[in-house]
Structure 1
Amino acid sequence: MTLDDLTARLRGGVPLAQLLQIEAIALDPLTIRMPAAALALRPGGTTSGPAMMALADVAMWAALLIANEGQDLSRTTQLAIQFLRAAAPGPVIAEPRILKPGRTLIYGEVWIRGEGDDRPAAHVTTQWAVTPLPTR
């Protein structure tokens, strides 16, 4: 799967992904960048929680697509986010990791931080239900 393939698949499946940039195609680490945008800010000028949650969800799906060579119909069943500090109004980076790929459930985590800041702004744990690919 190429970077262009992944970008097209993400944007086709989740229109909100139009706001995101995939920085690398390798899984370790995969980085997804959300550029600075007024749409992603909350009062006070920091990145909003809903924006970070969307970023985390799309980032984990990107990791699953890469791991499964573009063939993944898994669905989010759980997403828990711990906000650790405010993410500045600039670009925000997500680094997803698949912790346990299973036959029916997949567990992962996503670390989110402001660009240029090594300190995490949020930690996300997520669970996905494996949806079988259609047979022909």
Structure 2
Amino acid sequence: MQPVMDVAALTAFLRSAFPQVGEEFVVEEVAPMRVRVRLAVTDRHLRPGGTVSGPSMFALADVGIYLAVLAMIGPKALAVTTNCSIDFMRKPAAGRDLICEARLLKLGRVLAVGDAMIRSDGMDEIVARASLTYSIPPK
């Protein structure tokens, strides 16, 4: 199964449907059942001590899986997260963007399950890992 939305289509949808955060996330790659998304880290994403906050990393994982789902099913704004488990594994590199590799493990009629691996730009080690389930709206 091939994606029905490419980088340009996902970027336009994200900016249109979520103007409050659409500019923060950059869709870098779309492939069958996977996307790569970058969070351009700024001061607003940092917590005391200078590390990227947990809520910012959660947002990146959530947006990554959301976009992976939309890439495969088309622009369904009402697809929603029904479950998330996230492990924060190590401190992200200071001053570096975060990159999420989001992969769908199952894409059904009503549910999608995926995992998201988050790294600091230029680092091989994973800084956070998340497992998410999305509810897909009926046709």
TM-score normalised per structure 1: 0.89
Mapping for residues 87-102 of structure 1, pairs under 5 Å: 87-89=92-94, 90-102=96-108
Amino acid in structure 2 at the alignment position of 1:124: A
Decide which of 6, 9, 13 is 1:5's aligned counterpart: 9
Mapping for residues 1-136 of structure 1, pairs under 5 Å: 1-14=5-18, 15-27=20-32, 29-71=34-76, 73-89=78-94, 90-133=96-139
1:64-92 Cα distance to aligned partner (Å, 9 max, x none) = 11111334632101111100001123100
| Percent of residue pairs identical | 36
Instruction: Measure, in 1, the Cα distance between the counterparts of 2:33 and 2:104.
Output: 10
Q: Which runs of 5+ in 1 are unaligned?
A: none
Instruction: Measure, in 1, the Cα distance between the counterparts of 2:77 and 2:104.
Output: 14
1:26-54 Cα distance to aligned partner (Å, 9 max, x none) = 24652101112111111111111000111
Instruction: Measure, in 1, the Cα distance between the counterparts of 2:135 and 2:76.
Output: 14
Amino acid in structure 2 at the alignment position of 1:93: I
Amino acid in structure 1 at the alignment position of 2:15: R
* RMSD over equivalenced CA pairs, Å: 1.6
Verify the 8 A CA contact 1:73 1:132 in the aligned structure 2.
no
Q: Which runs of 5+ in 2 are unaligned?
A: none
Query: Cα offset for 1:10?
Result: 1.4
Instruction: Measure, in 2, the Cα distance between the counterparts of 1:73 and 1:64.
Output: 11
Instruction: Measure, in 1, the Cα distance between the counterparts of 2:31 and 2:77.
Output: 17
Runs (4 or more) in structure 1 with deviation over 6 Å come to none
Amino acid in structure 1 at the alignment position of 2:107: P
Verify the 8 A CA contact 1:29 1:96 in the aligned structure 2.
yes
Verify the 8 A CA contact 1:111 1:123 in the aligned structure 2.
yes
SS of the aligned residue for 1:11 comes to helix
Closer, same or farther: CA 129–77 of 1 in aligned 2, 3 Å: same
Q: Which has the higher strand share?
A: 2
Q: How many residue pairs end up in the alignment? A: 133
